[in-house]
Amino acid sequence: MSAQTRAAPDPVPSDMPESSTLALFAGTARAGAAPGGATQILARYLAATRPADLPAAVRKEAHRGFLNWVGCTIGGAHHDAARNAFAALAPFAGPAHASILGRAERTDAPLAALVNGIASHVLDFDDTHLATVIHPMGPVASAALALAEARGGVSGADFVTALVLGIEAECRIGLSVFPEHYDRGWHITGTAGIFGAAAAAGRLLGLDETRMARALGLAATQPTGLRVMFGTMTKSFHPGRAAASGLQAALLAQAGFTAAEDAIEGRRGWAEIVSTRFDPEQITGDLGHRFEAAFNTYKPYACGIVIHPVIEACVNLRAAHAPDPDTITSIELAVHPLVLELTGKAAPRTGLESKFSVFHAAAVAIVRGGGGEAEFSDEAATDPRVVALRARVRATIDPTLATDAARVILVLADGTRLEEKIDHAVGSLLRPMSDEGLAAKLTALASGVLPAPRIEKLVDLCWRIETLSDIAAIAVFARPA
Amino acid sequence: MSAQTRAAPDPVPSDMPESSTLALFAGTARAGAAPGGATQILARYLAATRPADLPAAVRKEAHRGFLNWVGCTIGGAHHDAARNAFAALAPFAGPAHASILGRAERTDAPLAALVNGIASHVLDFDDTHLATVIHPMGPVASAALALAEARGGVSGADFVTALVLGIEAECRIGLSVFPEHYDRGWHITGTAGIFGAAAAAGRLLGLDETRMARALGLAATQPTGLRVMFGTMTKSFHPGRAAASGLQAALLAQAGFTAAEDAIEGRRGWAEIVSTRFDPEQITGDLGHRFEAAFNTYKPYACGIVIHPVIEACVNLRAAHAPDPDTITSIELAVHPLVLELTGKAAPRTGLESKFSVFHAAAVAIVRGGGGEAEFSDEAATDPRVVALRARVRATIDPTLATDAARVILVLADGTRLEEKIDHAVGSLLRPMSDEGLAAKLTALASGVLPAPRIEKLVDLCWRIETLSDIAAIAVFARPA
């Protein structure tokens, strides 16, 4: 039908529902928001909390999460996703006040937040809040560090407070709509992450309750992250965009930009639009007593969590027995059903594919004794010794095993059977990664990117953030020169 | 419950739906997108269309829409929303390659797109695609002009092509989910607008089909605009953010950033997540034959569309009879039911409130003979002559009237009854605003912002865009100095 012949519709189609016609009246005044809704209550908490209100264990967990973020971000800094994003937007960049971790360049704070957020997630090695599958630190730390550098003089103690409160905002809002929100197709790390970034940036800017609520409102109105993007660079764009947009939301609120007071819980607000379920109590309950930041976890291995117990068992068997792979007749795995559902790829051809192969994971752990990025590289996936051994891996489902448990038996040519059972893999809530493990993870991720002395210094500074008078000191050592 | 006592959840909660557990495997490979889905088909069309493929009438409508956008954007440039956004983000701005219309400052292209997009919408005076209630030109022109200025040497003909194709992408995608998407609570000008901005910017960057599809994908993953924001500055943030994010989406795609090939129609893709209905035929049907850009409309009056026929009738009565307001006993209105539902405010106290008062609109049109921004200012809303007359306005619902129709009778003290009936108000599809009317609207909006000679030149250049070798010439005259 051509433009010329199409009949002109009535300006307001007669069959248009009443709610649609309201659109013709842009700016229609809304009924006042109920006072004390979730948005306002959360904003008040975020604005009013004092550093001393945060328990030491919670602050400690923020140190661990930040250190993990530093490592992942440096490790991902040269991935195509981070490189392309920086190349695309650098020609429009402003004052070089903020660092891109693992790279020599500095750039403006929102762009640094974007690129660091992308880099932090691109290896799928970042932290996990298991109750929501949010990767909390990427959006929060990427926004907070970039802003802190641009402002200058932000103390480590204030910075840690901003991280904790950012994660509270993010994970509590995520919990309020999980799992329906996620199942619907939203990548919750992006959609919840922007609240975390806005809250953390808002803290560093010293926003009062009213402006903090507006920052949350500006965050609510731009949910980012569709799961259709999984498997593309845009997946890691989500925490990057969340970091940059959350930071900008706080800056806009600081400058007097207004937003709905009931952005999260209101009619036609965030929760109603992005989920079929909303439990505001998850946002407002036990504020100052329940800390979601205490429930962050970290991956020791550079692949999906359900393979981790198998890798740990294999690493332990290798350490205990140093078996020659050629003498191994078979590797027998007993695993939770999800393991084969999610990682049943028998013959991965690339590093990325190998992350979805429990067969590769077991074989490479026996051959090389680890499960880091190097063990899930293209090179490792096609290493003849690994390829040969993984053909002798047999996996059996055992529904009695938890997802953080596995049994592995090595059967040797002489008939010897070497068995290892993992009840709770390292990196689970019940067996968290040790501080030493986290430091080693950062070191491995940063090697080849930063000189060794800088890495050592970086680890040291991360453990004593709260002694720093200016958090920007950390960024200095996260750059190669 | 404290952090210390809360039981640690199983890493994969046993009651978590299967789809959620997939999240633990970030980067899970997806089945390949069906070839030739709506995303790819639209991208191919956007990339392959030649300027000569666009009918002259469609190109002409783009000129009219652009001129209307220029006027609205200049008129809104000094509103608090635009001013606050610029103040907040200017400290992070990059090279000053792009203009903020109506202001002396230049800034980087994404920030110019953001601020111009905000300014274009903040007066609620911008264009309307009636079938979707999208305000199409804000996101599209704000992105395209900023990018064209930054690149330099973009011809007027290429620019118009980009505008038309941007509006096609935006309005077709909007149609595919309207009205359910809007009724659900999304501000469709933001959510659809980002596609338009990405498409227009992608055209100016010369993206091929593959990269254009990725630009649309990056647009899909960051839908912006919740209707809970109506009545706050964040409402006009939506087209601004759509412009900036769409521009950045195109830049990222140009740099090699990847996104899902079936971003719009795919499983857990845009349409499934943001609407309960999706008709891909609205996107792909009659491409190159049906042009949504031909159905753009423009408001002659600075208030909601349903009041327009009343204002027009009053303006006509004043022009014909020049009645002394003091001699008017009553003004009797017969209106469509929506008019009282949406604009029934009897005693507005502010300019903003007066836009929702048919009583004010009728009175001010009789007293002053118009319905522009000045007639809906705080001053006009409290003008004693207007206030006195509006108390004598009576409105009656007549369900036989269309929304673009109204009857007005002035009853004078001597018993005279002066009647005027409007069947189709100016600005409706059946009685579009004239070119002269659009030029006068721009002139009124720009007066007080730009010197008169610049305004004249601007109008002249807008009508002959396609003769310009560099569209940036227009931006020069849209700045005060």
**Residue B431 domain-assigned (yes or no):** no
The DSSP H or E segment spanning A44 is helix A38-48
Residues A258 and A357 in one domain: no
Q: Which of B387, B406, B422 delimits the end of a domain?
A: B422
Q: Which residue of A has its CA nearest to B230?
A: A27
* Tokens read off for B122: 């903040």
What's residue A341's pLDDT? 85
User: CB A402 to CB B183 under 8 A?
Assistant: no
pLDDT at A35: 55
Q: Which of A237, A290, A404 sits opposite B6 (nearest CB)?
A: A290
Identity of the amino acid at B116? N
* B80–A contact, CB cutoff 8 A: yes
Task: Label the pairing between strands B328-335 and B406-412.
Answer: antiparallel
Task: Closest CB to A230: pick one of B17, B28, B286.
Answer: B28
The two tokens of residue B279 are 């008709």
In this complex, do A231 and B27 lie within 8 Å of one another by their Cβ atoms?
yes
Give the tokens for residue A446: 């940063």
Please answer yes or no on whether B228 and A19 come within 8 Å at the CB atom.
no
A190 neighbourhood in chain B, CB within 8 Å: 221
Residue B435 lies in a domain: no
The DSSP annotation for A252-318 comes to: HHHTT----TTTTTSTTSHHHHH-S---THHHHTTTTT--GGGGEE--SSSS-GGGHHHHHHHHHHH
B289–A1 C-beta distance less than 8 A: yes
Percent of chain A with pLDDT over 90: 87
Same domain, B136 and B281: yes
Kindly give, in sequence order, each residue whose CB lies less than 8 Å from that of residue B282, ignoring residues fewer than 6 positions away.
B172, B175, B176
In this structure, of A19-23, A173-177, B63-67, B258-262, the range with the lowest mean pLDDT score is A19-23
Closest chain A C-alpha to B313 CA, distance in angstroms: 18
Contact B427, B444 (CB under 8 A): no
Q: Would you say residue A478 has pLDDT above 70?
A: yes
pLDDT of residue B29: 37
Determine, yes or no, domain membership for B88. yes
Is B338 close to A12, i.e. CB distance below 8 A?
yes
Q: Which residues of chain B are within 8 Å of residue A258 when distances are taken between CB atoms? A: 232-234
Which residues 124-163 in chain B show a CB within 8 A of chain A? 124, 128, 130-131, 133, 135, 150
Helix (H) or strand (E) holding B396, with range, is strand B393-397
Q: With an 8 Å Cβ cutoff, is B254 touching chain A?
A: yes
Above 70 in pLDDT, residue A113? yes
Q: Which of B172, B183, B348 is nearest to A18 (CA)?
A: B183
DSSP A325: G
Q: Which residue of A has its CA nearest to B92?
A: A94
> Residue A92 in contact with residue B94, Cβ under 8 Å?
yes
Domain membership flag for residue B434: no
Same-domain check for residues B181 and B327: no
pLDDT score for B6? 36
Within 8 A of A21 by CB-CB distance, chain B residues are 338, 342
Is A32 near chain B, with CB under 8 Å?
no
Question: Does A176 share its domain with A277?
Answer: yes
> What is the H or E stretch that residue B75 is in?
helix B56-76
Which of A128, A222, A281, A429 is the best residue to mutate to test the B interface, defined by the most B CB atoms within 10 Å of its own CB?
A222
Tokens of A196: 């975390």
* pLDDT tens readout for residues B164-184: 999 999 999 999 999 999 999
- Restricting to B residues 173-202, those with a Cβ less than 8 Å away from any Cβ of A are 178-179, 182-186, 188, 190
Residue A25 has pLDDT above 50, yes or no: no
Shared-domain flag, residues A288 and A310:
no
Handedness of CA B144, B150, B156, B161 (dihedral sign): negative
Average pLDDT, chain A: 92
Nearest CA in chain B to A251: B88
Cβ-based contacts under 8 A for chains A and B: 372
The per-residue pLDDT for range A454-464, each reduced to its tens digit, is: 999 999 999 99
CB contact B465 to A (< 8 Å): no
- Nearest CB among B6, B217, B231 relative to A28 is that of B231
ipTM for the predicted complex:
0.90
- The answer to whether B332 touches B408, Cβ cutoff 8 Å, is yes
Residue A222 has pLDDT above 90, yes or no: yes
| A402 contacts in chain B (CB < 8 Å) | 10-11
Determine whether the interchain pair A228/B30 forms a contact, defined as Cβ–Cβ distance below 8 Å: yes
The domain in which residue B54 lies consists of: 38-298+471-477
Same structural domain, A291 and A349: no
pLDDT score of A17 more than 90: no
**CATH number of residue B385's parent domain:** 3.30.1330.120
- Give a yes or no: residue B128 inside a domain: yes
* Same domain? A213 vs A245: yes
pLDDT digits (tens, 9 = 90+) for A184-202: 999 999 999 999 999 999 9
Of B92, B234, B404, which is closest to A94 when you measure between CB atoms? Answer: B92
Say if the Cβ atoms of A88 and B234 lie within 8 Å: no
- Of the candidates B372, B429, B24, B44, the one whose C-alpha atom is nearest the C-alpha of residue B203 is B44
Q: A451 lies in a domain?
A: no
B55 close to A (CB below 8 A): yes
Asked if residue A430 is part of any domain, the answer here is no
Q: Are B230 and B224 in contact (CB under 8 A)?
A: no
CATH of the domain at B254: 1.10.4100.10
The full 3-state SS of B200-229, as one line of letters, equals HHHHHHCCCHHHHHHHHHHHHCCCCCEHHH
CB contact under 8 A, B257 and A182: no
Cβ of B355 within 8 Å of Cβ of A27? The answer is yes
Same domain membership, residue A113 and residue A225: yes
Euclidean distance between CA atoms B333 and B407, whole angstroms: 6
A271 and A319 belong to one structural domain: no
Report CA torsion sign: B149, B154, B157, B162.
negative
- Name the minimum distance, in Å, from the CA of A408 to any CA of chain B: 20
Q: Virtual CA dihedral for A360, A237, A273, A228, nearest 10 degrees?
A: -40
Chain A positions in Cβ-Cβ contact with residue B124 (cut-off 8 Å): 26-27
User: Tens of pLDDT along B107-155?
Assistant: 999 999 999 999 999 999 999 999 999 999 999 999 999 999 999 999 9
Contact residues, chain B, for A186 at CB < 8 Å: 273
Q: What is the pLDDT of residue B35?
A: 55
Q: How far apart are the first and last CA of chain A?
A: 62
A265 and A331 co-located in one domain: no
Tell me which residue has tokens 């610049």: B454
Q: Which residue, of A384, A403, A422, is where some domain finishes?
A: A422
Cα(A18)–Cα(B396) distance, integer angstroms: 19
**Residue B292 in contact with residue B175, Cβ under 8 Å?**
yes
State yes or no: pLDDT of A4 exceeds 70. Answer: no
Q: Which two tokens stand for residue A161?
A: 């407070």
From the list B26, B89, B222, the residue facing A224 with the nearest CB is: B222
Q: Which residues of B touch A268 (CB under 8 A)?
A: 185, 226-228
Total tally of structural domains belonging to chain B: 2
Distance of residue B78 Cα from the nearest chain A Cα, in angstroms: 14
Does some domain include residue B94?
yes
E strand segments, B185-343:
296-297, 328-335
Residues A102, A223, single domain; the answer is yes
List, for chain B, all residue ranges whose pLDDT scores fall below the cut of 70: 1-35
Task: Quote the CA–CA distance of A254 and A260 in Å, as a whole number.
Answer: 15
CA A375, A378, A383, A386 torsion-angle sign: positive
Cis bond before residue B179 (omega within 30° of 0): yes
State whether B293 and B317 are in the same domain. no
